[in-house]
Amino acid sequence: MKIKVSVLVLEIDENTNVPQFNILLTDENAIPSKILTTRSLEQTIQEIYSEFTHLKTSYANPILSDFRTEGLEAEVLYITTIPYGIAGVKKGTFVPHSNLGLKHFYERHIIERPRSVSQQPSY
């Protein structure tokens, strides 16, 4: 069974009357992900961060959000929320949430997230 690790990186801009948030997408307009191999889960998530941003897992600690299976493939979804402008994008781009038509699997987790960085759970 192949396990895909996906990370929804949400960038929140709290400097507006209604906090706005952007989602990191690859150049192919997909959620950043990698297949879990012999590396640990934390190393795999850090590889995703390093490929697309300058973030570290020690700062942008991802939270397990969901898990789904489709045949012989599985996907583990993590979400991290960061303040606007700190990611330092290397590859891909942050896209305003309002401009997207994401699959329901991702969309419902975005909608359920707190709209403020200060409202994030501390684990």
Predicted confidence at residue 92, as pLDDT, reads: 93
Helix or strand holding residue 10 (H, E)? strand 2-13
Give strand pairing partners of 8.
79
Whole-number Å distance between alpha carbons of 122 and 1:
32
Predicted confidence at residue 6, as pLDDT, reads: 95
This prediction's pTM: 0.81
Helix (H, G, I), strand (E, B) or coil at 77: strand
Whole-number Å distance between alpha carbons of 1 and 74:
7
Predicted confidence at residue 111, as pLDDT, reads: 65
Predicted confidence at residue 122, as pLDDT, reads: 46
Predicted confidence at residue 116, as pLDDT, reads: 45
**2-116 sits in which CATH class?**
alpha beta
Predicted confidence at residue 38, as pLDDT, reads: 86
Backbone angles phi, psi at 79, to 5 degrees: -130, 140
pLDDT tens for 73-123 read 999 999 998 998 888 899 999 988 765 666 677 776 666 655 444 444 443
Neighbours of 82 (CB within 10 A): 19
Q: Give domain limits for the chain.
A: 2-116
